[in-house]
Amino acid sequence: MTPELISLFTAAFVTFFVLIDAPGVAPIFATLTANGSPAWRRKMAIKSVFVATIIMLLFAFGGAWLLDAMHISIDAFRAAGGVLLFMIALDMVFEKRTERREHRAEEFQERHRDDPDPDDISVFPMGIPMIAGPGSIATAMFYMTEAQSYMHQAVVLAAIGANLLITLVIFLLAGPLVRFMGASVAGALTRILGVILAALSAQLVIDGIRGAFNIG
């Protein structure tokens, strides 16, 4: 791989790692699957990641067509995506994102508390929006639309795939991992990732404005 492709993979991998935030989602997955058997928890982990993969691939490959159909330039999409990611970063730093995720999980549990069998959580809330949320979907569209060649697209897909594989492993080990990390470590990690995402999003906005107004 050339230095350019390595740089692209690194940037895409870090961005998706921050957006998916598998360590932050793991406690929610552990809570939602606490009453199921080990086999059912494994099934939910695999299905959740599979559903998220399908959703992200659909938007990744259909993003260029969608932007063209709506007459949206890549620079405008880059700037808008930067603003969206910055808002997500703020939520992560101040733990609002975690609170919303926990609230969704609590609502889901409350609605299905009296059901005799564990519910399938792979599509909602785990697949969407816990893993494949608005930020990761928009970023997949952005990276694939901006890719200059099939090799660049393959590198982006590899970065997405690597993150989804990490998410699957973390889900499979969710119970022991959550007990090992504890709430304080998970919260600190989410805040650190939020700061990194804020810097990445600010750069996207700057690049979008530069491209739109032909600056520099």
Q: pLDDT by residue (tens digit) across 120-139?
A: 889 988 898 789 987 888 89
Q: Give the mean pLDDT of the chain.
A: 85
Q: Which two tokens stand for residue 119?
A: 């519910």
Distances (CA, A) of 84 to 1, 5, 41: 31, 26, 32
Q: DSSP per residue over 135-192, as a string?
A: HHHHHHHHHHHH--SHHHHHHHHHHHHHHHHHHHHHHHTHHHHHHHHHHHHHHHHHHH
Mean pLDDT is lowest, of 41-45, 106-110, 158-162, 171-175, for 106-110
pLDDT of residue 117: 53
pLDDT at 211: 87
> Tens of pLDDT along 2-40?
999 999 999 999 999 988 988 888 887 887 887 788 899
Burial per residue of 81-95, b for 16 or more beta-carbon CB atoms within 10 angstroms, e otherwise: bbebbbbbbebbbee
Q: What is the pLDDT of residue 63?
A: 82
- What is the reported pLDDT for 119? 73
Say how far apart CA 171 and CA 5 lie, in whole Å. 29
Q: What is the DSSP letter of 118?
A: -
Handedness of CA 195, 197, 203, 206 (dihedral sign): negative
pLDDT at 151: 96
Taking 80 as the threshold, does the pLDDT of residue 106 lie above it? Answer: no
What is the DSSP-derived secondary structure letter of residue 112?
Answer: T
- Residue pointed to by tokens 């998916």: 20
Pairwise CA distance, residues 125 & 110, whole Å: 13
Separation CA 146–CA 136 (nearest Å) = 15
In order of 37, 47, 187, the CA distances from 144 in angstroms are 39, 24, 31
Q: What is the pTM of this model?
A: 0.76
pLDDT tens-digit map of 168-208: 999 999 878 777 777 677 778 778 878 887 887 888 889 88
Lookup result for tokens 């998220």: 52
pLDDT at 44: 95
